[in-house]
Chain A
Amino acid sequence: IAGITQAPTSQILAAGRRMTLRCTQDMRHNAMYWYRQDLGLGLRLIHYSNTAGTTGKGEVPDGYSVSRANTDDFPLTLASAVPSQTSVYFCASSGVPAGGTDTQYFGPGTRLTVL
């Protein structure tokens, strides 16, 4: 069982380019999340999805979009990358929707550098 996988592991991107970070889970979890983690700051929620077909905005959604076409996949897209989006991005999932307190399980992360 892989749990949660993310791709790519790392990426260097020119400002203005479009980029999609991929996230796939095989635990049949209903809820999925995208966070960014920056030095000295806590994990910040970008977008979430309580179940396939629904998405919601987190604390820092600007410049990012998501989709949830099925249970397993939750891609995060940067339409036009900017240097302030340089960060480590973590995808996570949990067994119950965001209206519960189930443990979140994290993918290995994607280290993104925007130049």
Chain B
Amino acid sequence: GQNIDQPTEMTATEGAIVQINCTYQTSGFNGLFWYQQHAGEAPTFLSYNVLDGLEEKGRFSSFLSRSKGYSYLLLKELQMKDSASYLCAVVDSNYQLIWGAGTKLIIKP
């Protein structure tokens, strides 16, 4: 079967750095998305990786290792507004998006 694993919940301090991991086992791979979802709201796009390596976009960076079936989202200089769930999703061989259950990130002052 296809599987996306993320930690259920993480806690971090305002101003700090946090890394949210995602491991996947899917039938094929055609890219990996990270989305942010605030409570009660819709998911919004953060990043897309299809090649190995680090993609940096402001305070957020996303890393991919296809050989290890692994990605992480790195959030720097955490702000209270970063409190949200972070969803990892993999595009499989049929170009269907397979979604992880999401990681709830709690930021404390």
Task: Answer yes or no: A53 CB below 8 A from chain B CBs.
Answer: no
Contact residues in B for A101 (Cβ distance below 8 Å): 30-31, 48, 50, 91, 95
| Known A42-B87, A43-B87: A104·B44 in contact at CB below 8 Å | no
Task: Answer yes or no: A45 CB below 8 A from chain B CBs.
Answer: yes
A105 to B42 Cα, complex, angstroms: 9
Q: Please tell me which one of the listed residues A42, A103, A108 contacts residue B42 in the complex, with CB atoms under 8 A apart.
A: A108
- How many contacts between A and B, using CB within 8 angstroms? 46
Q: Let me know if A43 and B96 touch, CB within 8 A.
A: no
Q: Let me know if B45 and A103 touch, CB within 8 A.
A: yes
How many chain A residues touch B (CB < 8 A): the figure is: 19
Task: Answer yes or no: B70 CB below 8 A from chain A CBs.
Answer: no
List residues of B whose CB falls within 8 A of some A CB: 4, 8, 30-31, 33, 41-45, 48, 50, 87, 89, 91, 95-102
12 CB-based A-B contacts, threshold 8 Å: A42-B89, A42-B100, A42-B101, A43-B43, A43-B87, A43-B99, A44-B99, A90-B42, A101-B91, A101-B95, A104-B45, A105-B45
